Chain A
């Protein structure tokens, strides 16, 4: 089954404690991206990757890091989480940037 898998689905953490949200896709897609969704602000792109070892900033990259060492995986790293990073995060993948995107189920992160 074609899917994008994010883990964990829910996470509560404390300020400053490094965390990683994993994202994996099984469709051999080249393009992957991370979004955060906040009430009243919609979905905003954090980072995207056009292919292995190619990543670039989206609209709200501050406080986040990503890596794309393998085609299937695109982890999101918060080196020092802060409360303003409390949000609902989505990973997505698509064959290319402007083609149909498949989304993970989301990770609800709370930073206290």
Chain B
């Protein structure tokens, strides 16, 4: 399978804490994207990082990319209950491949 792997598969933290999830991929990429999915609904785009970028910020989100290790991480700072969702990375050049996803639960 060309699917990347996300780590951890599930993460449960307290509201206000930071959440970090990782994505490893197998193919060469033009960019890597992160998406959020709320319980079986459509995915929502969060952030895109290009292959020549190492770090990118958007609000409470921070994404890093290490092309030598073929890995990316998504950090959500000061988590809120509304951040409870599954998070997926999407990568690929010729074909787009989703990671398996990290299920994040924020406990009040």
Q: Judge whether B2 is part of the interface by a CB distance below 8 angstroms.
A: yes
A106/B41 in contact, CB under 8 A? yes
The 8 Å CB contact of A100, one of B30, B33, B42, B88, is B33
| Cα A108 to Cα B45 with chains together (Å) | 21
Contact A103/B43 with A42-B3, A42-B100 known, Cβ cut-off 8 Å: yes
Contacts of B42 in A (CB 8 A): 4, 90, 103-106
| A-facing residues in B30-64 (Cβ within 8 Å) | 30-31, 33, 35, 40-45, 48
B-side interface residues, number (CB < 8 Å):
25
User: A44-B3, A90-B43, A97-B96 known; 20 other A-B pairs, CB under 8 Å?
Assistant: A4-B42, A35-B98, A42-B98, A42-B101, A43-B101, A44-B98, A45-B95, A45-B96, A48-B96, A59-B2, A59-B95, A59-B97, A90-B42, A98-B30, A100-B33, A100-B45, A101-B43, A103-B44, A105-B42, A108-B40
14 A–B contacts, CB within 8 A, in A order: A35-B98, A42-B99, A42-B100, A43-B88, A43-B101, A45-B97, A59-B95, A88-B40, A90-B43, A98-B92, A98-B93, A99-B48, A102-B45, A103-B44
Q: What is the interface of chain A, defined by CB distance below 8 A to chain B?
A: 4, 33, 35, 41-45, 48, 58-59, 88, 90, 92, 97-106, 108
